[in-house]
Amino acid sequence: MSSPNNQVTLRQRFISALAGEFIDWPIYAAYDWFIRNRQEVDWNPLLSEGLGIIGHAEFLQIDRPHAQITETTSQTERGIRRDVYWETDVGELHEWFLGEWRQEYLIKTPDDYRIMLRALDGRRASMAPEMYRQVDNWIGERGVTLGVLSRTPLQEVQIDLAGLARFSLDLADECPALMELLELMTSQFLEGIKLACDGPQTYIKLWENLSIETMGPACYRRFLVPLYHRIFDILNPAGKRLVVHYDGKLRIIANQIAELDFDGIDSFTQPPEGDMSVAEARAYWPGKFLWVQPNLGWYALPEEQFLARVAQAVRDAGPRRYCLMISEEVPPDWPRTIPALLRALELMR
């Protein structure tokens, strides 16, 4: 969006902020998922007032020759139910969702890891830049587009395939089928990282959804840190940069994060959701881009208090390499609070 007195677009402002230039007019942007899916929100006036869009674009086409994935939907008293089936020649996996929320995971027993291993056997990925460009063209000058690669394998199994309880037990036991699956998934994941080097996207984002409470620092050091270094070794020579969605408690691994070459920490949230302030994050990670989500509880405060907290976060994050974002949920009382925040940020110019 442009202002009558300033023709710099949101895309240009994002590029400048990501490059480390001085920020005198902070960006406030929403994930594209909310723009597309939260129909109860009248987004057009908010976008006209200066709200930006953070686009997320896949860029790999995946072929799984040993798995047939089918979906069905049905209306229930509790809402729309969606069932997903992974069929292979050694068995079937099933998960289901109620609305946006997963109710049952694909992997329910240790034997299910073997079925998933077969489903992923022979998986082939190919670069599909048109998938990225389609999203980027829709974003246009209204924001920035990140290329996305889902999650690292450990996080994908924990969050998407098995769930925390099942995964924690099997990782503690070093279940052979789980470890074999992680080995295969890691190999395939790194192949995707290599393909990303030839794509149009500069910023690669991983939906890690990391809160160290669900993993522990020992597992982080053992499994994720070495893999991140392998990713950097591939991406950095190609001029690609890595952004990680870390939306939970991070203090206990803050020093380790400081030693990793992440370009940015996405959806950074202060207490009580997180356990670090923006000032602490900036002290630990002076060069990283902070994608700061104002706490949802702030929006319920009297407007003067709400804007004062945002202003403090801006001072603590600045003067370079940061933005504000809507990344976890649409703020309460959005018709009032989002425009108020946009007006307050514009006054900083």
What pLDDT is recorded for position 200?
Answer: 94
Q: Which two tokens stand for residue 171?
A: 């990782």
Q: Residues 178-202: what's their mean pLDDT?
A: 97
Q: Residues 273-299: what's their mean pLDDT?
A: 97
The whole-angstrom separation of Cα 290 and Cα 310 is 14
User: Which is higher by pLDDT, 216 or 320?
Assistant: 320
What pLDDT is recorded for position 210?
Answer: 87
For the chain, state the CA radius of gyration. Answer: 21
Cβ partners under 8 Å of residue 330, min gap 6: 30, 34, 38, 41
Q: Residues 319-327: what's their mean pLDDT?
A: 98
The structural domains of the chain, ordered by start, are 10-64+123-346 (3.20.20.210), 65-122 (no CATH)
Residue 73 has pLDDT above 60, yes or no: yes
pLDDT in tens, 11-21: 999 999 999 99
Number of other CB atoms surrounding residue 75 within 10 Å? 8
Cβ partners under 8 Å of residue 105, min gap 6: 95, 160, 161, 162, 163, 166
> At residue 78, what are phi and psi to the nearest 5 degrees?
-95, -5
Q: Residues 235-248: what's their mean pLDDT?
A: 96
Cβ partners under 8 Å of residue 169, min gap 6: none
Q: What pTM was computed for the model?
A: 0.94
Helices of type H across the chain: 10-18, 32-37, 43-48, 110-120, 129-139, 153-156, 164-172, 176-196, 217-219, 225-235, 254-259, 278-284, 303-317, 334-346
What value does the mean pLDDT of the chain take?
A: 95
What pLDDT is recorded for position 212?
Answer: 85
Residue 249 CA, chain-centre distance (Å), reads: 15
In 3D space, the residue among 135, 121, 131 whose CA is nearest the CA of residue 61 turns out to be 131
What pLDDT is recorded for position 323?
Answer: 98
> At residue 209, what are phi and psi to the nearest 5 degrees?
50, 40
Classify burial at 196, counting beta carbons within 10 Å of its beta carbon; exposed 0-12, middle 13-18, buried 19 or more.
buried
